[in-house]
């Protein structure tokens, strides 16, 4: 038996004893989980019962940002980061090289596939990535949000010399700002309502960070009325999309990566049309772990994003704390090893 944190309904996360995983099938390894980051989508599931059109069905173990120690398989005895997405490899998007758009994706902590908030699990070898000695277990877990940030900046087409606005400075938004800077952005600005998260964005390389109600005017002053070349939205609300449209220059590209609470989103169509904006939807990430490891070992400090840690037995408290958004990244420490 081993311990798991299982989500049964809104606000109902229980620590339970469950059968430990048996011997892994061919091509899979047993992983003793060490660190799990709580993502904004996890908080949607905990506080609202789902994300948009997807809702809780059977009880599930949440957690898709996680690292651990491989107990067997090709990486036995080594610390590993875990890619939480298992594409089918057979559908048309998979065959075309877009596994993140898989039509039959299995994703940790989603529907019938339990995630990282448990002491041990089995996972495909090809989705395990050995951690360099210089990266902590927490940093290994945060390679997942860093991978999403890398994917978002790629889809946003950030180019050398661009002015970039990031809307929303949760952990992924902060990492988008850091990655955009590494991608060659001349200036990176942030719109974020929470003061402590604006401060975090500044520490991670943003040139300026403003509350949403002053962002548009402040950005006009910074860019002499031109607006930014690229906007990456990571907040999920209609007001965030409206900020993106208002701050984009004519011909700009807007990448939408925030997860909304409702199935429908709306945006100011008239100014977006007049500006000829291009919208791009960011779907998870794709083949980013090697790049994320390189960035995390050459200047992007993931550990400084972690503001709060809780042991597995206090997972419900960790979720309640994270929902209040009084910090940056909340991590659950699991003693699976």
Domain containing 67 — which CATH number? 3.90.180.10
Name which of 182, 230, 177 is nearest 206 in CA terms: 177
Whether 170 maps to a domain, the answer reads: yes
* pLDDT, tens digit, 9 for 90 and up, residues 8-55: 989 899 999 999 999 999 999 999 999 999 998 888 888 877 666 666
* pLDDT, tens digit, 9 for 90 and up, residues 71-90: 999 999 999 999 999 999 99
Q: Does 243 share its domain with 213?
A: yes
For the chain, residues with pLDDT lower than 50 are none
Whether 297 maps to a domain, the answer reads: no
Overall domain count for the chain: 2
Position 336 scores a pLDDT of: 53
Strand-pair category, 2-9 with 128-130: unpaired
> Domain range spanning residue 238?
149-281
Tokens of 92: 């048309």
Position 112 scores a pLDDT of: 83
Give the C-alpha separation, 18 to 2, whole Å: 6
Q: Does 113 share its domain with 156?
A: no
pTM of the full structure: 0.94
Q: Does 276 share its domain with 159?
A: yes
Position 47 scores a pLDDT of: 83
Q: Does 167 share its domain with 117?
A: no
Is 284 strand, coil or helix?
coil
Position 53 scores a pLDDT of: 64
191-195 long-range contacts, Cβ below 8 Å, gap at least 24? 191/165, 191/166, 191/167, 191/215, 191/240, 191/243, 191/247, 192/167, 192/168, 194/169, 194/325
Question: 52-62 in b/e burial notation, b at 16+ Cβ within 10 A?
Answer: eeeebeeebbb
Q: Does 9 share its domain with 131?
A: yes
Whether 122 maps to a domain, the answer reads: yes
Give the C-alpha separation, 30 to 27, whole Å: 11
Whether 288 maps to a domain, the answer reads: no
The per-type count for the chain, helices as H runs and strands as E runs, is 10, 19
Q: Does 8 share its domain with 130?
A: yes
């Amino acid at each position: 038996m081993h311990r798991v944190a299982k989500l049964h309904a809104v606000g109902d996360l229980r620590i339970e004893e469950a059968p430990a995983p048996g011997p892994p099938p061919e091509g899979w390894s047993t992983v003793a989980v060490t660190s799990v980051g709580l993502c904004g989508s996890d908080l949607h599931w905990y506080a609202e019962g789902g994300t948009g059109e997807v809702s809780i069905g059977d009880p599930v173990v949440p957690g898709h940002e996680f690292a651990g120690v491989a107990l067997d398989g090709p990486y036995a005895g080594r610390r590993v980061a875990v890619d939480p997405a298992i594409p089918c490899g057979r559908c048309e998007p998979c065959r075309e090289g877009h596994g993140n758009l898989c039509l039959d994706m299995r994703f940790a902590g989603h529907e019938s596939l339990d995630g990282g908030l448990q002491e041990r699990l089995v996972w495909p070898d090809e989705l395990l990535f050995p951690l360099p000695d210089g990266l902590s277990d927490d940093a290994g877990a945060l390679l997942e949000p860093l991978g999403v940030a890398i994917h978002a900046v790629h889809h946003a087409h950030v180019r050398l010399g661009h002015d970039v606005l990031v809307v929303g400075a949760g952990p992924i938004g902060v990492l988008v700002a850091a990655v955009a800077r590494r991608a060659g952005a001349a200036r990176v600005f942030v719109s974020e309502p929470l003061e402590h998260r604006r401060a975090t964005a500044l520490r991670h390389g943003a040139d300026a960070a403003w509350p949403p109600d002053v962002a548009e005017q402040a950005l006009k002053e910074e860019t002499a009325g031109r607006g930014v070349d690229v906007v990456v939205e990571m907040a999920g609300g209609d007001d965030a999309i409206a900020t993106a449209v208002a701050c984009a220059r004519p011909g700009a590209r807007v990448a939408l990566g925030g997860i909304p609470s409702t199935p429908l989103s709306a945006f100011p169509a008239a100014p977006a049309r007049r500006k000829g904006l291009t919208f791009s939807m960011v779907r998870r990430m794709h083949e980013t772990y090697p790049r994320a490891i390189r960035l995390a070992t050459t200047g992007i400090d993931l550990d400084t994003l972690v503001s709060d840690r809780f042991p597995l037995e206090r997972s419900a408290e960790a979720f309640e704390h994270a929902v209040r958004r009084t910090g940056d990244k909340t991590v659950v420490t699991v003693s699976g090893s």
